């Protein structure tokens, strides 16, 4: 069967690192981990006397269910789901069967999924998977882009270039500084991403431990729940309905929207720099730029990045707007939307892969930088009129405007203008150095 999404077809190898966190099999495995962890936590509590503490052998055997989880096991869960028409209930029944094989007649299978609602398991499973994906794939990939850009900025720190504002020649800048702007913006978002933590809701059908307290009214369920959520390296939610309100996913989505936007900004600027000739691109043997124009070396990596960043942002924006909204105590519309979380992260990762590839091809053309600057001596007008103001010229701006606005200037005419100025000697000498 041909894949419907290019993430599972054309681009499968590039997004493969995310498969451990965002496939259906990964979600089933994470649900099992949550169910087993909850069962073991209950067994450790003296306030639940009917469930005896697990032996070391039992703990090891239960953990092995997760550690050895395979595609065959996931298929077994899916087979159960065909009967239950409920994904989490299928996991519960699968785990009950597995525990019976481990503990035999003494297996207290009724304590599997004890007093829980499916969302208690689902939101914790998603939280674990997302935290792990951030730690193992997404943050390192972003850090790689930041490092590559920082190196590029350092190498080009002193390369002067013509800047364009409104698409028109403006005050000179340096290539290194312009790249550093992107680096600084990305670092700020990376720091937010590093501090971010998924939340965890745990409290039964409508978040008040009603069923739990019906069975064990004296047990400190709120304290137990918070401790259990923290044991999964998630932040406990004290007040919730049936579901995690998904403010965590909205916050995370907004961070990724900003990261995507910054990278899209850089992708478009890189495309324009390539178009101007400021950047050249290393050719790759055997690569074709056009099916009919042999000379073409197209900026396809930056174009691919731009397109995939847009797709990623569209999904993250929808997550941020849709997921925190639920009718009354719960509706199911969030469930189907969350299944596409991996798609948003996949297009983001695909864009980063394209950007890194594009960055490796870039070659700075210093001759073009110099030629562009040399062709526009008028861009030094800002510096000249500012020094004039310092030296008491009240009409400095007006004089420079009359001389340069909409006119083609030469270096000679600018030098002549500065030479006639009645300003401090050191100021004049500094301006003349700029004009040579």
Query: Which residues participate in catalysis according to the annotation?
Result: 166, 290
Distance (Å) of CA 223 to CA 96, 121, 419: 26, 18, 79
281, β-bridge pairs = 362
The answer to whether 269 and 163 have CB atoms below 8 angstroms apart is no
Q: How many angstroms separate the CA atoms of 189 and 89, rounded?
A: 38
| C-alpha span between 127 and 249 (Å, rounded) | 9
- Terminal-residue alpha carbon distance, the chain: 67
Rounded to whole angstroms, how far apart are CA atoms 216 and 225?
14
Closest CA to 214 of 72, 115, 110: 115
Cβ neighbours, 10 Å, residue 124:
27
């Amino acid at each position: 069967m041909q894949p419907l999404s290019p993430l599972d077809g054309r681009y499968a190898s590039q997004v493969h690192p995310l498969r451990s966190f965002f496939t259906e099999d990964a979600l089933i495995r994470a649900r099992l981990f949550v169910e087993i962890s909850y069962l073991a936590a209950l067994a450790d509590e003296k306030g639940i006397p009917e469930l005896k503490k697990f032996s070391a052998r039992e703990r090891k055997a239960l953990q092995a269910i997760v550690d050895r989880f395979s595609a065959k096991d996931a298929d077994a869960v899916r087979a159960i789901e065909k009967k239950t028409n409920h994904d989490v209930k299928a996991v519960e029944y699968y785990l009950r069967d597995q525990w019976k094989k481990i503990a035999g007649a003494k297996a207290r299978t009724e304590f599997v999924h004890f007093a829980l609602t499916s969302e208690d398991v689902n939101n914790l499973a998603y939280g674990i998977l997302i935290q792990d994906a951030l730690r193992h794939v997404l943050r390192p990939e972003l850090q790689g882009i930041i490092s590559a850009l920082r190196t590029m900025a350092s190498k080009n720190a002193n390369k002067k270039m013509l800047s364009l504002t409104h698409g028109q020649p403006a005050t000179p800048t340096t290539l290194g500084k312009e790249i550093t702007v992107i680096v600084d913006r990305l670092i700020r978002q990376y720091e937010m991403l590093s501090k971010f933590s998924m939340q965890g809701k745990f409290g039964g059908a409508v978040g008040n431990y009603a069923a739990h307290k019906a069975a064990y009214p004296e047990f400190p369920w709120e304290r137990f729940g918070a401790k259990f959520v923290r044991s999964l390296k998630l932040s406990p939610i004290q007040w919730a309905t049936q579901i995690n309100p998904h403010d965590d996913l909205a916050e995370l989505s907004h961070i990724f929207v900003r990261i995507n936007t910054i990278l899209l900004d850089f992708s478009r600027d890189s495309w324009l720099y390539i178009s101007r000739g400021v950047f050249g691109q290393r050719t790759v043997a055997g690569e074709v730029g056009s099916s009919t124009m042999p000379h073409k070396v197209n900026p396809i990596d930056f174009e691919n990045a731009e397109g995939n960043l847009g797709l990623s942002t569209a999904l993250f924006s929808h997550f941020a707007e849709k997921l925190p909204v639920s009718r009354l105590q719960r509706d199911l519309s969030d469930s189907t939307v969350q299944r596409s979380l991996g798609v948003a992260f996949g297009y983001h990762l695909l864009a980063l892969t394209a950007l890194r590839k594009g960055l490796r091809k870039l070659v700075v053309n210093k001759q073009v930088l110099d030629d562009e600057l040399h062709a526009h001596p008028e861009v030094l007008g800002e510096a000249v009129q500012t020094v004039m103001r310092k030296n008491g010229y009240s009409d400095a701006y007006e004089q420079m405007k009359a001389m340069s606005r909409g006119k083609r200037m030469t270096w000679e005419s600018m030098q002549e203008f500065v030479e006639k100025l009645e300003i401090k000697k050191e100021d004049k000498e500094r301006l003349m150095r700029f004009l040579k």
